[in-house]
């Protein structure tokens, strides 16, 4: 059987870094992982092709070649998934959708012949049987249990054009022990973290290394430290593996904030080549954190956690949320003050969204506050009735983003990081051949052409004087800053203004209807 694996396109987003890619000579920020893991599970006699729509277009010839088209993606990729399914069906091809989007809301994919919900390990027989059976309108395959990751194979990295990506994805664990009300991870992967053995992880990294890849590797675990005993065992083997090869990979991942309280674990991560970690900080409001069930964030000072991780050698990327029920207009100023001068350049701030299947979704449904299913658009109106006046929420959110990603504020956070960051044992961000071209593009694009070039030269001069070993880091974050600054100005703020205009029109129409009725 001929199988075409299609990774759906992402819209332009903060995490996509689409404006940064031309500066580093890459086409996408992160490689797909789910589809190449699935590929390793499919029968070896099947012929496989992979198309990542974030890297290349999908020609009709590839669809015609395939007997079946398997499309994967998250909720934000759902529009692209539907487009691919429509094209495949128009050409008479069998269609399967899988990944987080259909897993959390299978009812949203009636256009696909097979909706594969959940994880693939141990269930390939179901998929093979579905593709061998007569066609039906829609067949939904639901996982009966969550598999042990001992069944997870080495992903088929050879299906990827590795040079197209600024980072490559691998995975060590699935699941998270916490119970944040708004999070769908525990609904998809459960609250008992399941892990791969150190041997499995090193085999995957070895496969990637032997394909010639060097550079950034993202452990896509939603909480890398969910099982601390197991992660310590992994790091004990990962450090010598990296050291023996001259630290070929700069690693980063996601973790819960309580990582900062475990200095030994932090040190082990740094020694193993981890240079950054994404933390769900969410809000400095203890009231909002408690109501959301994010009690792990209440056990320590969040600002001190960011500082201590930075000093120890881990850059913190932070996730923040506004629009909790307890948030008033003062919440925006609290977020701004938390981030002002913090060593945290990449602050991802979003409106609270009710994701299908989450505890938040269920509560809002009971309260009659849901409007629609979440569509993954972070800059549209909330998909539920917020407690705060909606116009004030959108206005405050827009003002906060405008402040965070004005060039002076972004570069100040970069400078704060350079001042505090440790010199990493593996050399941190390794200087590679392609970095020179990136530096030259940066000098021209930002140092000469950008209206905020003065901020660039001040940061560069400060770095060369005080921390020249951070030069590669600084250039990388200038590149990322280009995306954050441009995307905020050119797309995010206009979209939020449009959302406010739509709300104003809706309210005006409601007032008109009320007057007419009276």
Distance CA 478, CA 497 (A): 27
Greatest Cα pair distance, the chain, in angstroms, is 80
- Beta-carbon contacts of 90 under 8 Å, excluding residues fewer than 6 positions away, are none
Multiple choice CATH, 2-141, 3.40.50.1240, 3.40.50.280, 3.90.1150.10, 2.60.40.10 = 3.40.50.280
% helix, strand, coil for the chain, step of 5: 50, 15, 35
Q: What is the model's pLDDT at position 341?
A: 87
The domains of the chain are located at 2-141, 171-404
Q: What is the model's pLDDT at position 378?
A: 80
The answer to whether residues 43 and 2 touch, using CB atoms and an 8 Å cutoff, is: no
Distance CA 407, CA 19 (A): 15
Q: What is the model's pLDDT at position 195?
A: 99
Q: What is the model's pLDDT at position 425?
A: 60
Regions of the chain with pLDDT less than 70: 374-376, 424-431
Q: What is the model's pLDDT at position 426?
A: 55
**Global confidence as pTM:** 0.96
Q: Which superfamily does 171-404 belong to?
A: Aldolase class I (3.20.20.70)
- Beta-carbon contacts of 285 under 8 Å, excluding residues fewer than 6 positions away, are 324, 326, 327, 331, 334
């Amino acid at each position: 059987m001929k199988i075409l694996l299609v990774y759906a396109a992402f819209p332009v987003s903060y995490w996509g870094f689409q404006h940064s890619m031309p500066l580093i000579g890459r086409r996408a920020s992160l490689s797909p992982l789910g589809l190449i893991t699935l590929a390793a599970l499919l029968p070896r006699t099947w012929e496989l092709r992979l198309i990542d729509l974030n890297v290349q277009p999908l020609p009709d010839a590839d669809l015609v070649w395939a007997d079946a088209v398997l499309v994967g993606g998250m909720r934000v990729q759902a529009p692209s998934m539907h487009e691919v399914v429509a094209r495949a069906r128009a050409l008479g091809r069998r269609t399967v959708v899988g990944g987080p989007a259909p897993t959390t809301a299978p009812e949203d994919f009636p256009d696909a012949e097979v909706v594969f919900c959940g994880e693939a390990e141990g269930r390939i027989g179901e998929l093979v049987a579905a593709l061998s059976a007569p066609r039906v309108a829609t067949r939904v395959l639901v996982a009966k249990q969550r598999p042990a990751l001992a069944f997870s194979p080495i992903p088929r990295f050879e299906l990827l054009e590795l040079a197209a990506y600024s980072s490559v994805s691998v995975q060590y664990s699935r699941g998270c022990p916490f119970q944040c009300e708004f999070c769908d991870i525990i609904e998809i992967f459960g609250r008992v973290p399941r892990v791969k053995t150190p041997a499995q992880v090193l085999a995957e990294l070895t496969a990637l290394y032997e394909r010639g890849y060097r550079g950034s590797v993202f452990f896509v675990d939603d909480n890398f430290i969910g099982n601390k005993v197991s992660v310590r065992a992994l790091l004990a083997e990962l450090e010598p593996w990296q050291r023996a090869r001259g630290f070929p990979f700069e690693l980063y991942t996601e973790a819960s904030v309580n990582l900062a309280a475990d200095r030994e674990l932090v040190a082990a991560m740094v020694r193993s080549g981890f240079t950054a970690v994404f933390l769900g900080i969410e809000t400095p409001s203890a009231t909002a954190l408690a109501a959301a069930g994010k009690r792990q964030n209440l056990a320590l000072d969040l600002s001190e956690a960011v500082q201590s991780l930075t000093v120890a050698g881990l850059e913190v990327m932070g996730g923040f949320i506004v629009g909790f029920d307890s948030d008033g207009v003062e919440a925006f100023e609290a977020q701004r003050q938390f981030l002002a001068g913090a060593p945290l350049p990449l602050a991802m701030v979003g409106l609270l969204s009710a994701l299908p299947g989450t505890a938040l979704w269920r509560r809002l449904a009971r309260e009659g506050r849901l409007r629609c299913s979440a569509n993954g658009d972070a800059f549209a109106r909330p998909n539920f009735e917020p407690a705060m006046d909606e116009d004030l929420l959108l206005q405050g959110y827009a003002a906060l983003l405008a402040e965070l990603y004005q060039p002076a504020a972004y570069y100040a956070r970069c400078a704060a990081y350079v001042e505090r960051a440790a010199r990493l044992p593996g050399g941190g961000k390794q200087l590679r051949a392609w970095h020179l071209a990136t530096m030259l593009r940066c000098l021209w694009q930002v140092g000469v052409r950008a209206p905020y070039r003065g901020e660039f030269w001040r940061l560069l001069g400060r770095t060369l004087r005080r921390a020249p070993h951070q030069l590669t880091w600084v250039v990388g974050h200038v590149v990322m800053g280009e995306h954050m600054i441009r995307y905020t100005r050119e797309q995010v703020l206009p979209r939020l203004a449009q959302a406010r205009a739509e709300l104003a029109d809706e309210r005006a129409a409601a007032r008109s209807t009320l007057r007419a009725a009276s």
